[in-house]
Structure 1
Amino acid sequence: MDTGPRPGQAQLAFDELGTPLRDTTFVVFDLETTGTKPGPDGITEIGAVKVRAGQVLGEFATLVNPGAPIPPQIVELTGITQAMVYDAPRIERVLPAFLEFIAGTVLVAHNSGFDTSFMRAACEGHGYVWPRATVVCTVKLARRVIPREEAHSYRLSSLAMLLGARTRPTHRALDDARATVDVLHALLERVGNVGVHTLEELVDYLPEVTAAQRRKRHLAADLPARPGVYLFRGPREEVLYVGTARDLRRRVRQYFTGSESRGRIREMVALAERVEAIECAHSLEAEIRELRLIAAHRPMYNRRSKNPHHAWWIGLTDEAFPRLSVVRLPRAGTLGPFRSQSDARTAADTLAGASGLRTCTQRISAKSASGTPCVLFELGRCGAPCASRQTVEEYSPGVAAARELIEGRDGSPLRTAAEQLERLSGGQHYEQAARHRDELADLVRAVGRAHRLAALASIAELIAASPDGNGGWELSVIRFGKLASAGVARRGVPPMPIVEQLVAAAETVLPGEGPLHGASGEEVGVLLRWLARPGVRLVRTTRPWAEPTAVAGWRGWLDLAAGARTLERVAG
């Protein structure tokens, strides 16, 4: 049998291939049940065979008392009667031994979804944890390997006969498990002929993969098994797709050998001529580099490429009677970023209603205005400065309140909005109150996020360390909301000398305009989430850093929660 590399395809080393199938321990199991609906006590028999390299290592078999009558049709099918299970153990007594039997193995079953759903339900019902094991379904594998013209049916009995199984299925658990072992071995022989020799390749092989995809797996042969960013490049060296991975080699190989079902990505793989990898110190650096590369190259197969700088902001206009306007470029005194223009517009309307600001777009003179009040004046939602019903002095408190909220000094508009919510719910205007509640919740979240992002982006330099899980540290130098340098201090290596080296080599970042000082909202958000992870420590900062709480945090949330509870109580 020829298992060597095809022309133009690099031979992969064993450490690149993963776990050889000959070294993989499988447990092939089968259940008999009282029906088709999973439940904690629906199993009547368990049969399992543990195999490795074609050799049987052990067997597990037991009847199980389901604690309920077995339906006559099930008795006729399996031959398992009520008398046979009368003295059998209950499933809660069987589970510990079975879970020990399958520990650390790859599970195999014919129509595995059925069997695993019953076992999972039994574990959940009796306080056990069903393991997160790799599961191979011989039905799915047979459909991938054996064409329909060869196998008229993929039932276990048909496959056992077709593939020459030594044991014939009898609808008894151990016999069916033994038959499935023979079917599995026959199927593994067939997939070996198409280059599947490891457990990882087998799992990847189960979804349908085109021959063109599989032929390109050599593009991943020279990639490092380290965290980083990968770029698929097309025939003209154009960047087709950018992604991140903890293990670059393994992740990229999945595009060629396995579980990629997205049509656009398959199309991308067909166009790709080479894969470029950029090693990163840790996953945070990889995520930041991915954001920057997508913004720089705008690859056609990355969804985020459509709007790499799609942030929107809201701020007060510069006129006698300011209003809230949605803008694309941040400036001092703006609130954001928002992911869409509609989100920004909704937040602006909610804040305007809570602050008493007008929402019309006309420019109104401070001296005199002769317009006609609109319906908002009749509803009490506008003071009608357009018709000289409101002076600049009378209008200015709302402007000051909106500005104070945007800049993080006072949250009175949020309290006003919560009071409006109370009045709506008290008046039994449930639909309007529910809409107002959702809009207010969105505004509170937006204000809180904006203040947290701005607080981080305002720091000239912040150095943080995160445990790497192996006794070492992942180090990051952040300047004005941008990752300026990244590195690692392995276990046993003093981290501070490495910190000083990272600081010395870090990118120079000059603060820009706006609340985020020129940083991308997406990048600051990624850094903020990383800093909030358990175990992250601040090494030092140029000034103290803390997330604001007085405006966008607990006060606003308490007001909102009070209004939401009132609405639920009245409507409930």
Structure 2
Amino acid sequence: MSLFNELSLWSEYPIVAFDTETSGPYPLESEIVELGAVKWHQGKIIGQFQTLLKPSKPMLQDNINIHGITNEMVADAPLMKDQIVPFCEFIQDSILIAHHAPFDLGFVAIEIEKAGLVFPNNVHFCSSLISRALLHTTNHKLQTLVKELNLVGGDAHRAYDDAYACLQVFFKAAEKLDVASIEKLKAVQAKKLAWSDYSLFNKSSETIKSIVDAIQKNKTIQIVYEGGQSKNKLRPITPKGIVRNPDGDYVHAECGLDNQRKRFYISKILDIELV
């Protein structure tokens, strides 16, 4: 049962801003390699969480170029399975914020499920969505917001520094509210965010579970897809990663018709057959 009263001021509750750095863009295919978070309550920072994480396979240079975290840096880092419990304890009973939150929630939700844990009790906000509604800047990328709002940025694309920047963006946006309640923030955000919406193993559809199984076993499947040149006909795909998103869940896969990586929306997959 939620302890959050949506008519209450958001500032009455602990706020945790968090960020992930990953080995690639798609959950299951890629993994979290750094996790950072900062906790605020009653006007001050009361906690920090930061750790590098060792992935199961080496990162590619394209991903290293994004965040600067090298394979050497994570060679002796702890495994996610040993850090997910303390992270869930850190964020429990807080208002949880991330910039482009669906991305981070998707990666972390998988690790919570893999560990056999119950999803923490949180209210979720995306500082990107809220900033788009309330702040007038050139764009709403985190580093643009940091620069144009004169915030403390730190190292871009490092988890703790980005989490702290996210927290500052949230505060700046919340200043624009006439009523600073949780209910008002949800209305401004417009899109619903909840842990259960990012489940891949326990609270997902049979279609998603079949795709997850194919990814984990590196199997090709046949799908009937409502779109493209082969509309409503069987096509082979090899799923690589799956993304759950308020704008539509999708699988990123190699299409057997042209050997190209493509996005296939789950809602448009009419049938699945195992090869």
TM-score by length of 1: 0.32
The aligned residue for residue 202 of structure 1 is 185
Verify: 1:178 aligned to 2:151, yes or no.
no
CA distance in 1, matches of 2:180, 2:31: 37
Q: Which structure carries more strand by proportion?
A: 2
Instruction: Say whether 1:76 aligns with 2:65.
Output: yes
CA distance in 1, matches of 2:22, 2:88: 18
Task: Flag the 1:86–1:61 CA change in 2: closer, same or farther, 3 A.
Answer: same
SS of 2:84's partner is helix
Aligned partner of 2:113 in structure 1 is: 124
For 1:565, the equivalent position in structure 2 comes to none
Which residue number corresponds to residue 113 of structure 1?
102
5+ long unaligned stretches in structure 2: 193-275
**Cα distance in 1 for residues equivalent to 2:154 and 2:146:** 7
Amino acid at match of 2:160: L
Matches within 5 A, 1:408-427: none
SS of the equivalent of 1:44 reads strand
SS state of the match for residue 157, structure 1? helix
Task: Please report how far the alpha carbon of residue 126 of structure 1 lies from its aligned counterpart in structure 2 after TM superposition.
Answer: 2.9
2:48 paired with 1:65: no
Q: What is the CA distance between 1:83 and its match in structure 2?
A: 1.0
> Structure 1, residues 234-282: CA drift from partner, whole Å, max 9, x if none?
xxxxxxxxxxxxxxxxxxxxxxxx9xxxxxxxxxxxxxxxxxxxxxxxx
Cα distance, 1:204 vs structure 2: 2.3
Separation in 2, partners of 1:178, 1:131: 21
Task: Please tell me the residue identity of whatever aligns with 2:124.
Answer: V
What CA distance in whole angstroms lies between the structure 1 residues aligned with 2:165 and 2:133?
A: 19
| Counterpart-to-counterpart distance in 1, 2:79 and 2:94 | 24
**Secondary structure, aligned partner of 2:27:** coil
Matched, 1:24 2:23: no
1:335-374 correspondence to structure 2 within 5 Å: none
Counting only pairs closer than 5 Å after superposition, residues 151-190 of structure 1 correspond to structure 2 as 151-190=137-176
Quote how far apart the aligned CAs of 1:131 are: 2.4
Alignment of 1:290-301 (within 5 A): none
**What is the Cα deviation at residue 197 of structure 1?**
1.6
On the 8 A contact 2:24/2:30 being kept in 1, the answer is: no
1:458-509, Cα deviation, whole Å (9 max, x unpaired): xxxxxxxxxxxxxxxxxxxxxxxxxxxxxxxxxxxxxxxxxxxxxxxxxxxx
Partner of 1:62, secondary structure, is strand
Give the alignment's Cα RMSD to 1 decimal.
Answer: 2.2
- For residues 161 and 24 of structure 1, the distance between their equivalents in structure 2, rounded to whole angstroms, comes to 28
CA distance in 2, matches of 1:35, 1:205: 30
Report % sequence identity: 31
Q: Is the 8 A contact 1:40 1:121 kept in 2?
A: no
Is the counterpart of residue 90 in structure 1 residue 76 in structure 2?
Answer: no
- Structure 1 unmatched ranges of 5 or more: 1-15, 209-257, 259-572
- SS, match of residue 8 in structure 2: coil
SS in 2 for 1:190: coil
Q: Using the alignment, how far apart are the partners of 1:53 and 1:140 within structure 2?
A: 24
Deviation of residue 41 (structure 1)?
A: 6.5
What is the TM-score when the length of structure 2 is the normalising length?
Answer: 0.64
**RCO comparison, higher one (Cα < 8 Å, 6+):** 2
2:53 alignment partner AA: V
Match of 1:313 in 2: none
CA contact (8 A) 1:41 1:67 kept: no
Q: 2:23 aligns with which of 34, 51, 75?
A: 34
> Shift in Å at residue 169 of structure 1?
4.7
Matches within 5 A, 1:376-387: none
Structure of greater Rg: 1
In the TM superposition, residue 40 of structure 1 has moved relative to its aligned partner by 8.4
**Kept in 2: contact 1:91–1:122 (CA 8 A):** yes
